[in-house]
Structure 1
Amino acid sequence: MNASSSQPVFPFSALVGQDALRQALLLAAIDPALGGVLVSGPRGTAKSTAARALAELLHEGRFVTLPLGASEEQLVGTLDIQGALRDGNVTFSPGLLAKAHRGVLYVDEVNLLPNPLVDQLLDVAASGVNIVERDGISHRHDARFVLIGTMNPEEGELRPQLLDRFGLAVDMSNVFDADVRQRIVKARLAFDEDAESFRAQYDAEQSALEQRLHAARALLASLDFHEAIHARVSELCIAAHVDGLRADLVMLRAARALAALENAARIEVEHVDRVADAVLRHRRREKEDGTGQAPAPHESTRREEQPKPNESDWGYLPPEPVGTTKIKQVRPLAAKKA
């Protein structure tokens, strides 16, 4: 039972299918510094069910939802400036980031939130610390949580700069396999009919998974990256034409978290390959037609490639293509006979 809710929670171990989503959520739970998971897909694909199920596996079991209309103060918390000036004591009223500490912060339709709010949210998710500053007075507190953002692509996209800040990304799709659909529906019907009996069937699996998560967190620091791991990560990121080095860092962390989850003695190249899609899915810039060719440079990139003038060439404009007109050739008139 989720500590933050009196309603029974669908067990994580009972989720049918969704292998990519389950792996991504578990890795983010093992190493929250990955930066969270972005889940993209249509309505009715059990995104929130999976998020609540993950929260139940964590130590505190906290599940905090960030509403669309939330303000910055609701998110980060507030400081009593008047009280600080009067009494010299800083009184901090916790926001949603503080309440989500050691739990899950769930943001539905993250693509509809104001960009500054998303940016601030991602900063704290990656650092694990929330700093509130008002009029020269500051307060900081731990805010280590698993960030899960969901979105429906039909309702708008996130800016590329924000997409890149999410550690892992999973695309959900409608299920068209009859057997899988039936298993999902049967499990949900059984849970809705008698939640306690349904949950009891998964007690042993849930307990074992909780122990695996705690053991994996403890194992992280002892796993190191050997040269073959660095080489494979670089190879995959270069092939995907990603911007910057964030993808490399996230892929290394994700591979380490997967190795820890499986209680492996060391990180293997196989671990890198198994997390690569979730790391590169929202960062990949190569063509999706399977040619492996790099995409055409962006217009702004092409402009930057033009030769730059000297600083003294005030008013210089780069050359631009000019349309041409085909001119019909005219034969010279024959010379008149004498």
Structure 2
Amino acid sequence: MSEPVQFPLAAVVGADDLKLALCLTAIDPKIGGVLIEGPRGMAKSTLARGLADLLGDGPFVTLPLGATEERLVGTLDLDAALGQGQARFSPGVLAHADGGVLYVDEVNLLPDPLVDLLLDVAASGTNRIERDGISHRHAARFVLIGTMNPEEGELRPQLLDRFGLNVALDGLPAPEARQQIIRRRLAFDSDPEAFRGQWADAQAALRDRCQAARERLAGIALDDQALAWITERCFAAGVDGLRADLVWLRAARAHAAWRGNPAIEEADVEAVAEFALRHRRRSDGAEAPPSAAGGPAPAPDAQGGQGDWGALPPQAVTSAARREVPNWAKKP
């Protein structure tokens, strides 16, 4: 059965912040994915599906609601392992998403252990399963896109922080924008192929711009000046930990590549500030404590040369490290 025709990202009305965040994640997947907040009916899934097209031919995989850990990570056939001397692996959602986009709708309604496992694999790029001394590992490199309606429940701060960027959609578009949204949706529903043809040039231009930015990304230094701007702002915002600094730095570099700049400028840092800080600011309104020297918190040490601050080697995720794997479509 063929995949349904997808609404082109270039044709989406408004949502400029989210479209930018998705493009930056397509340029540098190491940013760590995007968490989209907003009420129902805001085309969150349509926007997320548009990201897969920017990444090329990668799959777009949806994690079904009610999915178990076994459905997520896959299973091992122990009888085959004992009888044939080799592990027979049945791939789960993580394996199917390798090289593409993993979309998790209403991520705030998933059990915390499942979210934690999902984020671990997204960060490491490797999924490993162990059961009764039999193990299997496979690549699971994907861009994670999660959506949530805050009215239906929040994510714990520890899990929020694991998402690279966070964007909130405005649930009340102006009348003119609403009319344009409805007209385009009706045109797409009437003849999807003709509508995609109408937007083919704009979509191709967006895809080409992301590809060109990916190619120039490695040539843009993660320099000390950009790091200083970011660490000072993170300290002023009272952000705990250093993940915000790292994500913000990567996002600023991706934004410079998106603009075609050879170096990160302060405008790039400012352009992605809200994406990196929105879900990490202190909610109690407390001011950040002054450092012993009265200045901003020290920046992370450079490890392995310029552009590698705080980098850690990928770690395989073992579901059995937390628990043994038990025996155990969303919106189109």
Tell whether the structures are fold-level matches, with TM greater than 0.5. Answer: yes
Q: Residue 159 and residue 271 in structure 1: after superposition, are their counterparts in 2 closer, same or farther (change >3 A)?
A: same
Q: Residue 262 and residue 295 in structure 1: after superposition, are their counterparts in 2 closer, same or farther (change >3 A)?
A: closer
1:84 matched residue in structure 2: 81
2:245 matched residue in structure 1: 248
Higher relative contact order (Cα pairs below 8 Å, separated by 6+ residues): 2
2:176 matched residue in structure 1: 179
Picking from 104, 114, 120, the partner of 1:107 is 104
| Paired residues for 1:78-157 under 5 Å | 78-157=75-154
**Structure 1 CA distance for aligned equivalents of residues 231 and 283 of structure 2:** 15
Judge conservation of contact 1:39–1:149 (CA < 8 Å) in 2: yes
1:41 aligns with 2:34: no
How far apart are 1:103 and its partner, in Å?
A: 1.3
Picking from 9, 13, 16, the partner of 1:12 is 9
Judge conservation of contact 1:241–1:286 (CA < 8 Å) in 2: no
1:294 aligns with 2:291: no
1:230 matched residue in structure 2: 227
1:314 matched residue in structure 2: none
**Structure 2 CA distance for aligned equivalents of residues 5 and 216 of structure 1:** 31
1:268 aligns with 2:265: yes
**AA partner of residue 80 (structure 2):** G
**Structure 2 CA distance for aligned equivalents of residues 5 and 30 of structure 1:** 28
Unmatched 5+ stretches in structure 2: 290-332
**AA partner of residue 226 (structure 2):** I
Q: Residue 175 and residue 276 in structure 1: after superposition, are their counterparts in 2 closer, same or farther (change >3 A)?
A: same
1:257 aligns with 2:254: yes
Judge conservation of contact 2:130–2:136 (CA < 8 Å) in 1: yes
Judge conservation of contact 1:64–1:100 (CA < 8 Å) in 2: yes
Judge conservation of contact 1:59–1:102 (CA < 8 Å) in 2: no
**Structure 2 CA distance for aligned equivalents of residues 249 and 212 of structure 1:** 24
**AA partner of residue 280 (structure 1):** L
1:283 aligns with 2:276: no
Picking from 27, 30, 34, the partner of 1:30 is 27
How far apart are 1:143 and its partner, in Å?
A: 1.2
- Deviation per residue, 1:27-56 (Å, 9 max, x gap): 112222222111111011110110112212
How far apart are 1:111 and its partner, in Å?
A: 0.5
Q: Which moved more, 1:29-38 or 1:43-52?
A: 29-38
**Structure 2 CA distance for aligned equivalents of residues 80 and 219 of structure 1:** 44
How far apart are 1:100 and its partner, in Å?
A: 0.8
Q: Secondary structure at the match of 1:138?
A: strand
**Structure 2 CA distance for aligned equivalents of residues 286 and 43 of structure 1:** 25
**AA partner of residue 35 (structure 1):** G
2:64 matched residue in structure 1: 67
Identity among equivalent positions (%) equals 61
Q: Secondary structure at the match of 2:24?
A: helix
**AA partner of residue 207 (structure 1):** A
Judge conservation of contact 2:74–2:90 (CA < 8 Å) in 1: yes
**Structure 2 CA distance for aligned equivalents of residues 133 and 261 of structure 1:** 41
**Structure 1 CA distance for aligned equivalents of residues 266 and 218 of structure 2:** 18
**Structure 2 CA distance for aligned equivalents of residues 171 and 5 of structure 1:** 32
Unmatched 5+ stretches in structure 1: 297-338
1:203 matched residue in structure 2: 200
Q: Which moved more, 1:263-272 or 1:37-46?
A: 263-272
> What is the TM-score normalised by the length of structure 1?
0.81
Judge conservation of contact 1:125–1:143 (CA < 8 Å) in 2: yes
How far apart are 1:295 and its partner, in Å?
A: 8.1
Judge conservation of contact 1:65–1:105 (CA < 8 Å) in 2: yes
2:304 matched residue in structure 1: none
Give RMSD over aligned pairs: 1.8
**AA partner of residue 153 (structure 2):** G
Q: Secondary structure at the match of 2:129?
A: strand
**Structure 1 CA distance for aligned equivalents of residues 248 and 159 of structure 2:** 18
How far apart are 1:79 and its partner, in Å?
A: 1.5
Q: Residue 78 and residue 260 in structure 1: after superposition, are their counterparts in 2 closer, same or farther (change >3 A)?
A: same
> What is the TM-score normalised by the length of structure 2?
0.83
How far apart are 1:81 and its partner, in Å?
A: 2.1
How far apart are 1:61 and its partner, in Å?
A: 4.0
